[in-house]
């Protein structure tokens, strides 16, 4: 599922796409993060050079992401997702 969140045109930066993502780790835990290069970030997590949390829980699988047009909004959305319970995150992933 892809959700695109935008700011008013006056606040947009050209070619400044950010992604909020949720990955599932080998131990079935969920990790949420942001990046401006989703493919590279997933590779980094799986190579063991990503977040400390995911290093010992590889491999990880991308389960969900949203495309957002500013870093500020991406950080706010990441925080909001991190406040969700595991069940709520799973519903978000499954689009229920």
pLDDT at position 11 over 50 = no
- Measured between alpha carbons, how far is 73 from 68 in angstroms, rounded to an integer? 7
pLDDT tens digits, 24-77: 999 999 999 999 999 999 999 999 999 999 999 999 999 999 999 999 999 999
Asked whether residue 79 is domain-assigned, the answer is: yes
Q: What is the CATH number of the domain that holds 25?
A: 3.40.1440.10
pLDDT at position 83 over 90 = yes
Asked whether residue 60 is domain-assigned, the answer is: yes
Asked whether residue 49 is domain-assigned, the answer is: yes
Asked whether residue 52 is domain-assigned, the answer is: yes
Asked whether residue 34 is domain-assigned, the answer is: yes
Return the biggest CA–CA distance within the chain. 43
Asked whether residue 82 is domain-assigned, the answer is: yes
Asked whether residue 10 is domain-assigned, the answer is: no
> Structural domain of residue 24, as residue ranges?
15-94
- Total structural domains in the chain? 1
pTM across the whole model: 0.83
* Among 95, 91, 96, 89, residue whose Cα is nearest residue 25: 89
Proportion of the chain above pLDDT 90, given as a percent: 82
């Amino acid at each position: 599922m892809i959700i695109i969140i935008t700011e008013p045109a006056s606040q947009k930066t050209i070619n400044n796409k950010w992604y909020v993502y949720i990955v599932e780790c080998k131990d079935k835990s969920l990790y949420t993060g942001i990046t401006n290069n989703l493919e590279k970030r997933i590779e980094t997590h799986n190579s063991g050079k990503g977040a400390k949390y995911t290093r010992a829980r590889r491999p990880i699988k991308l389960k969900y992401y949203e495309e957002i047009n500013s870093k500020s909004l991406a950080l706010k959305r990441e925080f909001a997702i991190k406040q969700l319970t595991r069940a709520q995150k799973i519903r978000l992933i499954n689009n229920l």
